[in-house]
Structure 1
Amino acid sequence: MGDSGGVWGVPDARLPAAYAATGRRAVRVTLVAAAGFYPFRYGFDRPVAATYALFTVVALGGLSRIPGTGRQRAAFMARLLPVCWALVAVGTCLSVRTWSAVLGMLVVGFTLAFSAVGGPRPAGAAPGLHLLYILPSFPPYDPGSLGDRLLGTTTGVALFVAAEALLFPEPAPLSYRERAARAALVAERCAERLAAAPGALAGPDLRAAQGASQALRSLSVPEAERPAGPGVRERALTHTGLALRTLLGRLAQLPSGRGDGTAADVTAVLRAVAGLAAATAACLRAGTSPAPRQEELIAARARLSAVSEGPPAVDAGAGADAGVRLPPAVLRCHAAVLEVADAALATGAAADLAVRGRHPSVRLPPGRFWYATIRAPMLWWHRALGHAGRRSVFFQNAVRMALALTAVRFVAGVDTLPHGFWAMLATLTLTRTTLGETWSTIRLALAGTLAGALVSAGVLILVGADTAVYAVLLPVWMLCAFTVGPVRGVGWAQGLFTVLVALVFAQLAQPTWRLAEVRMLDVLVGSAIGAVFGVLAWPRGAHDELRRAAAELLRRAAEIVVATSASVAGGATPAAPRGVPGHRSLQRAVVLAESAYAQVQSEPAPLGGRGRGAEPRAVDWQATLIAGHHTLWGSARLLEPPLTALSPAAAESARLLGERVAGRMLLVSAALDPGGDTPATTGPLIDPDLAGSTAEPPGAPRRYYATVAWLNSLMTDLTRIAHGTAPHTPNENAPTQQAEPAAGRRAPGTATPP
């Protein structure tokens, strides 16, 4: 399972760093757990408060995987304290009857697992919060002890927040805002070079643009720094990154052919783009408003757009100043420069919105920032509603986890399963998103638990009722368990944790060797129930869902491409809000595809290798997502009023090109769909040369060339999807060459074994 000479997928060269990271975490957990457990247990003789203080620390420090630095985690956990109180109180009140405890587990289990839609921090905290509800759901059913339970929970949270903030401080990684600011400065330099010297960018500038674009990709950004939340600022910061990648790519692909009469207008736009890029960086770093530079670019863009509206020239050497028409090469350049300006305007507006929230200082382009004036509760509702369906991976994970935990609670309540808490803990930590991974995890966990049970039984028999020995062994064993377990894998983690819980409960009640037997039985029951629901509920995880979501995205995109091309050809603005019909459907398809892609990166290959549901190696999933974004943005830009009617030849050409691109989208969609019969890797699915598919019509205005430029970019994306390779021209869509992460094979909102 691991690399040669490594342990559980961790190469030898990385073992010291892995042990150092888990060791720091283990020291924090051990110190805080001891500081909460021993005073309550032996100083104040309050075993209930001691139990909750210790298991609160285990929940937040062992089960939860909240990304970020210590101070970031501390701030987030401090905000979770009211949630912890509510979970302990509700679990205590509902536990007195089996039916209420079962219904509570169903509702709370789903809600906590589904909270992963809020971003990586809620997803990382969900397993620990599950544990805080599970703990009071089992004997003793004593609502009268709620005060001690809340006291222990509060103590554990407070001490762990202090430890995370003060012990072993970590250097803060580069924030996403700073990454975006640096990318904006790269865009400024590129725009200045293009304004000063007509022609394409040189090699160093292209490499700088590609590097800045890659730095904004999710795989290059630490999980805690990704703007994944549903709020206005997080959404706007995500939009900033997408717009910057588009801007850098458009600058890298900018053609020559300005024409003598319009060179000044093109240069003015590029200089305004450079100024706005610099203002965007200043806005992200210092909070200054980019409004003046935004207005300057809007004015320059309007002048160039007005110059470009005329039909092509008969005399290719004539310029605009001579009162004659512009040649097609100049119009193609103008269309590309106007797309650069559009990306720069979107970047500045998104950055200002990310800094100022619902009170931006710049004019927002219509349609792109629908969330700008919506309050936070409604944005959370939008995010939840977008995933409230069986095709959402977050929804699947929540249903799977809630049903499994509910089944265990029902079995424990009906059959009076001894220490049923451990069975639910096993379900929480061992359930995975694919059948193959669940079975592999359970086998290792059972082997580790058996070994741990044997060690526990031996210790309990040898030591007997001498609690002083258990008190001395507990912190030492806890330090070892939380250091070694996460690195060595689930088998070691379960074995070490089995001994750990035996040492804890031996100090709370009369110890007996049968405690180890009960632990083994509970793990077997919990893992079996988790495996059953892993088989019944989406046993292939996100692999099939990613293919299905990508296929649906391309189908929706094809509809918009056809409708947009027809609207441009006819010169009529659609009556539907924000573009053409289906715009909202494509937005939701993009969201679902992004969530499936995020999860599939943490899953192993499906069972059976390259079977019907296997992920084709040649597919570039990132290009699929980018194609969806390009379709949305390009459609909105092309349909901005007023729309000028094209000549019959130009209209027919635009309509034909749109249908051709839509047809290629549908072909690739059918190849990706797991229910289809077309293999995604047999032969070229598309011809990347769109320009040569139709004759260039005479008399076409600038809007025709803008449409062709948009359709060409979509064809480039489709080429990457089908072949899994990037073109040689560096741009914002070039796929990363780094390997997908091999660790962390768990669903958002599920736990890593402690």
Structure 2
Amino acid sequence: MGPAGVPRKRIAARYAAAARRSGRVTLAAGAAFYLFLYGFGETTAATYALFAAVSMAGLSRIPGTGRQRAAVLARLVPVCWLLVAVGTYLAVRTWTAVAGMLVIGFALAFVAAGGPRAAGAAPGLQLLYILPSFPPYDPGSLDERLIGTTAGLLLLILAEAYLFPDPPTVPYRELAARAADTAQACVRELAAPPWRLSAQCAADAAAAISSLRPMNVAEADRPAGPGVHERALSQTGLSARTLLARLVRLPAPPGGAGPAEPGRKILEAVRRTAAESAECLRGATPATGAREGLARARAGLVASHPEPAAAGAGAGARAGAPAIPGPPEPVAVLRWYAGLIEAADAALAMSTAAAISVRGRAAAPDPPPMRFWYARMRAPRLWWMRLEGHAGRRSVFFQNAVRISLALAAARMVAGLDTLPHGFWATLAALTLTRTTVRETGTTVRLALTGTLAGALLAAVLLAAVGTDTTVYAIALAPVMLLTFTLGPVKGVGWAQAMFTVTIALVFAQLAPATWQLAELRLLDVLIGSVIGAVFGLLAWPRGAHEELQRSAAVLMRGAAEIVVATTAAVAGGGVREVQPAVPGHRSLRHSLILAESAFAQYQSEPEGSYGRRGHAGQPGGAGRSGPAPEPDWQATVMAGHHTLWGADRLMEPPQPGPAPVTVPPLGPDAAEAVTRLGDRVAGRMLLVSAALDPGGDTPAAPVALRDPAFDGFAARPEGAPRLYYMTVFWLDSLITDLEHIAGTARN
């Protein structure tokens, strides 16, 4: 098949998906509308039944299968009742309606921080609150409004659950299980001659890593919610990606004779743990034998000393630690073991997170390590922490909520003060046409006005020609709705506004006698709502996520630098290490990660032309684009933050299972000085990358060389250095590699 066949397939798939959604909306909304209007003569109930279905399926984009969407809608029914009731009572006065629009509009937009399903449902919930906020101001008709809303939602739930099912997608849990299978295959090759990965296995590992990146996962399958299961599943994917990356980087054991006995035990334990994780993710009864065996093997290797017994009795030895007989091991061997320990740690994290994602709090470690801080928390607290983390002007969710709530409140004020006919349409236009960047909003408004003008002309001709014959409108409504919700999502906002204008005209012409002037009012309202949306798009964070992504990534790198310095200082100092060490900056770095991830997610959804985005060499559109410099790899920036946190947690946890504190003597003068110097050097490079990610007037536009060929600190073997030293050095070296990926200078 030629290259032109791929776009045709994608377009056909988009039309098919839109047609299925349109069929469900049309059947649910049309059936409820006709039932109440022509069966019972209830115009109010008919209006709310139609708009309930249209809002939650036509305007909302709740991801997932039909059954998943139906379950979400069923949980949202009481919320819809509340919004209709509150909107009905607040609408009687303009100032209460405006205040309600400001507060409730912000709350409904801000709840998008809770994940894709909350974000997808938010626009429809906004519409259900907007609808009763306009005339007729009749709290006495609340029962009819609630009956109509309930009927429309129930028919929609049934349609979503049973009609026109979407093709199945691969769940994230299965993607993670496949990545664990790939890790097994990699370990098998590493444990057999020639003790390295084949090109095919390395390519399979890269493909598995790519399949777990959020941008390559269907929105419905992304574990982005704040709950325990979602957080654990997300961490399972991140740990699987880290494990595969560590296995790909792991070289053949020095000497060509294969791994020694401790290395073979670790590799076999990693393989068994990966197999156990895959079985757990696929629904088998979660087991812990392989994970516990790997934990013991890893702890034994960490606690052992690389020096022979006589040399290991000095200042750098642990009390009671087993000695390895024979001559001192070369640096290459020690670094190989350090890489093996990192791979084992990633496998342990993947296994633990997989068990938590399946069993929830019942599988949480006791006491939980820092990396699983969420495992024993209940859903309300985790939701509160998610919303609290975004409750600030640096969060893109907060910015979007402020922008849309101000636009809605302004539209409601204009409609109330000027007694704008059908002011509902103006507020709806402000809701649907306001975008996260001013340039995208301007483009959207131009297309929307053009489409609305075309739709208004067609509706005016139809209304003038047919007059008051509601039979024609009733017959035409269903096919026009079907076209509206099929063509709009595929062909863009212009088509959507044109077709929706005709649909609205057909609906209101059946509710009350209408003339061609109804189309004129529709155009006027959309114009007013568009202007309001454009004004607030210009005033409130007009550059969208771009600036926040730069800033949050720079803050993330500065926080990572602080963690590196604090961790290497703690490793150099030794002493008592608790199960949950208090290395400064962990919480602030996690918060920076949250902001960076949300900004990156929005950044990917915004058109490239809206702020002059430049691609980077590692992603589509980067190599051939013109511009002063390639765009940084933002995904690598986020992963560098995760690797910093995980490495710090790993190095500060006790080297063997159990809650008892472990006394770790200092590394020795030479090793302590070396690891401190390396930590300072890596932290300095992180600060340079931070300055390049969000450059000011007096900072360089790009970082200096991240690796200094004249500096051999990563290859040094200080006197009295235990395995903890080489684990720390390997971690710091991997962070430098992450920084190279960010800057686009990674070595092949």
**Structure 2 length-normalised TM:** 0.91
Match of 2:687 among 644, 666, 672: 666
Inter-partner Cα distance in structure 1 for 2:310 and 2:634: 42
Corresponding position of 1:634 = 647
2:105 maps to a residue whose letter is G
TM-aligned CA distance change 1:303 to 1:336, over 3 Å: same
The offset of 1:256, in angstroms, is 3.6
1:657 maps to a residue whose letter is L
Q: Is 2:244 aligned against 1:248? A: yes
- Asked if the contact 2:189–2:195 (Cα under 8 Å) also holds between the matched residues in 1, the reply is no
Inter-partner Cα distance in structure 2 for 1:5 and 1:300: 53
Corresponding position of 1:584 = 587
Match of 2:596 among 593, 596, 602: 593
TM-aligned CA distance change 1:211 to 1:610, over 3 Å: closer
Corresponding position of 1:282 = 279
Q: How does 1:395-544 map to 2 (within 5 A)?
A: 395-544=398-547
Q: How does 1:198-209 map to 2 (within 5 A)?
A: 199-209=195-205
The offset of 1:453, in angstroms, is 1.4
Q: Which sits farther off after the overlay, 210-219 or 641-650? A: 641-650
Match of 1:265 among 250, 262, 266: 262
TM-aligned CA distance change 1:678 to 1:147, over 3 Å: same
The offset of 1:201, in angstroms, is 1.6
Inter-partner Cα distance in structure 1 for 2:307 and 2:293: 23
1:635 maps to a residue whose letter is A
- Asked if the contact 1:261–1:321 (Cα under 8 Å) also holds between the matched residues in 2, the reply is no
Q: How does 1:360-375 map to 2 (within 5 A)?
A: 360=363, 366-375=369-378
Corresponding position of 1:741 = none
The offset of 1:357, in angstroms, is 0.5
Q: How does 1:225-244 map to 2 (within 5 A)?
A: 225-244=221-240
- Asked if the contact 2:546–2:611 (Cα under 8 Å) also holds between the matched residues in 1, the reply is no
The offset of 1:490, in angstroms, is 1.0
Q: Is 2:215 aligned against 1:215? A: no
2:236 maps to a residue whose letter is T
TM-aligned CA distance change 1:123 to 1:279, over 3 Å: same
Inter-partner Cα distance in structure 1 for 2:580 and 2:292: 26
Match of 2:727 among 706, 715, 720: 706
- Asked if the contact 2:307–2:323 (Cα under 8 Å) also holds between the matched residues in 1, the reply is no
Inter-partner Cα distance in structure 1 for 2:309 and 2:640: 30
Match of 1:292 among 289, 292, 296: 289
Corresponding position of 2:50 = 54
Match of 2:349 among 346, 362, 375: 346
2:341 maps to a residue whose letter is L
- Asked if the contact 1:269–1:301 (Cα under 8 Å) also holds between the matched residues in 2, the reply is yes
Corresponding position of 1:686 = 706
Match of 1:644 among 665, 688, 709: 665
Corresponding position of 1:191 = 187
Corresponding position of 1:746 = none
- Asked if the contact 2:48–2:145 (Cα under 8 Å) also holds between the matched residues in 1, the reply is yes
TM-aligned CA distance change 1:149 to 1:437, over 3 Å: same
Match of 1:570 among 573, 578, 593: 573
TM-aligned CA distance change 1:11 to 1:295, over 3 Å: closer
The offset of 1:330, in angstroms, is 2.5
TM-aligned CA distance change 1:442 to 1:679, over 3 Å: farther
Inter-partner Cα distance in structure 2 for 1:207 and 1:438: 41
- Asked if the contact 2:55–2:123 (Cα under 8 Å) also holds between the matched residues in 1, the reply is yes
- Asked if the contact 1:668–1:685 (Cα under 8 Å) also holds between the matched residues in 2, the reply is no
Q: Which sits farther off after the overlay, 579-588 or 697-706? A: 697-706
CA root-mean-square deviation: 2.5
Inter-partner Cα distance in structure 1 for 2:555 and 2:425: 41
- Asked if the contact 2:338–2:723 (Cα under 8 Å) also holds between the matched residues in 1, the reply is yes
Corresponding position of 1:722 = 743
State the aligned residue count.
715
TM-aligned CA distance change 1:132 to 1:313, over 3 Å: farther
The offset of 1:609, in angstroms, is 3.4
- Asked if the contact 2:549–2:599 (Cα under 8 Å) also holds between the matched residues in 1, the reply is yes
Q: Can you list the C-alpha shifts for 1:433-472, whole angstroms capped at 9, x where unaligned?
A: 1010101111111111111112222111111111111111
Q: Which sits farther off after the overlay, 631-640 or 319-328? A: 319-328
The offset of 1:572, in angstroms, is 4.0
**Structure 1 length-normalised TM:** 0.90
Task: For CA contacts below 8 A with separation 6 or more, give which structure has more relative contact order.
Answer: 1
1:173 maps to a residue whose letter is T
- Asked if the contact 1:627–1:717 (Cα under 8 Å) also holds between the matched residues in 2, the reply is yes
Inter-partner Cα distance in structure 2 for 1:105 and 1:690: 63
Inter-partner Cα distance in structure 2 for 1:608 and 1:112: 27
Inter-partner Cα distance in structure 1 for 2:535 and 2:221: 36
Q: How does 1:132-147 map to 2 (within 5 A)?
A: 132-147=128-143
Match of 1:304 among 277, 301, 304: 301
Inter-partner Cα distance in structure 2 for 1:362 and 1:390: 35
- Asked if the contact 2:390–2:397 (Cα under 8 Å) also holds between the matched residues in 1, the reply is yes
TM-aligned CA distance change 1:471 to 1:262, over 3 Å: closer
Q: Can you list the C-alpha shifts for 1:542-577, whole angstroms capped at 9, x where unaligned?
A: 011111110000011011111111111222468996
Consecutive unaligned residues of structure 1, counting only runs of 5 or more, are 729-754
Corresponding position of 2:26 = 30
- Asked if the contact 1:312–1:328 (Cα under 8 Å) also holds between the matched residues in 2, the reply is no
- Asked if the contact 1:546–1:600 (Cα under 8 Å) also holds between the matched residues in 2, the reply is yes
- Asked if the contact 1:630–1:714 (Cα under 8 Å) also holds between the matched residues in 2, the reply is yes
- Asked if the contact 1:291–1:361 (Cα under 8 Å) also holds between the matched residues in 2, the reply is no
Structure 1: 4+ residue segments shifted above 6 A = 258-262, 311-315
The offset of 1:303, in angstroms, is 2.3
Inter-partner Cα distance in structure 2 for 1:44 and 1:249: 64
Corresponding position of 2:339 = 336
- Asked if the contact 1:232–1:354 (Cα under 8 Å) also holds between the matched residues in 2, the reply is yes
Match of 1:561 among 548, 559, 564: 564
Partner of 1:125: helix, strand, or coil?
Answer: helix
1:618 maps to a residue whose letter is E
1:540 maps to a residue whose letter is R
2:265 maps to a residue whose letter is A
The offset of 1:328, in angstroms, is 2.6
Inter-partner Cα distance in structure 2 for 1:515 and 1:135: 18
Q: Can you list the C-alpha shifts for 1:75-124, whole angstroms capped at 9, x where unaligned?
A: 21111111111111111111111121111111111111111111111101
Identity of aligned residues (%): 61
The offset of 1:189, in angstroms, is 2.2
- Asked if the contact 2:270–2:347 (Cα under 8 Å) also holds between the matched residues in 1, the reply is yes
1:699 maps to a residue whose letter is G
Corresponding position of 2:176 = 180
Match of 2:718 among 677, 694, 697: 697
- Asked if the contact 2:20–2:166 (Cα under 8 Å) also holds between the matched residues in 1, the reply is no
Corresponding position of 1:86 = 82
- Asked if the contact 1:561–1:662 (Cα under 8 Å) also holds between the matched residues in 2, the reply is yes
Corresponding position of 2:552 = 549
- Asked if the contact 2:32–2:50 (Cα under 8 Å) also holds between the matched residues in 1, the reply is yes
Inter-partner Cα distance in structure 2 for 1:5 and 1:332: 49
Match of 1:359 among 354, 362, 367: 362
The offset of 1:615, in angstroms, is 10
